[in-house]
Amino acid sequence: MGVKILLTWNIKPDREQEYFEFIIGEFIPGAQRIGLHPVDAWATLYGDYPQIQVGIFAPTEASARKVLASVEWQALQEKLLTFVTDYAYKIVPARRGFQF
Q: pLDDT tens across 39-97, in order?
A: 888 888 888 889 999 999 999 999 999 999 999 999 999 999 999 999 999 999 887 76
Any domain includes 99: no
Q: Flag whether pLDDT at 25 surpasses 90.
A: yes
Any domain includes 41: yes
Range of the domain at 73: 3-93
pLDDT at 93: 87
Any domain includes 100: no
Q: What is the CATH number of the domain that holds 48?
A: 3.30.70.100
Any domain includes 20: yes
Structural domains of the chain, count: 1
pLDDT at 97: 67
Contact between 91 and 5 (Cβ < 8 Å): yes
Q: Flag whether pLDDT at 98 surpasses 90.
A: no
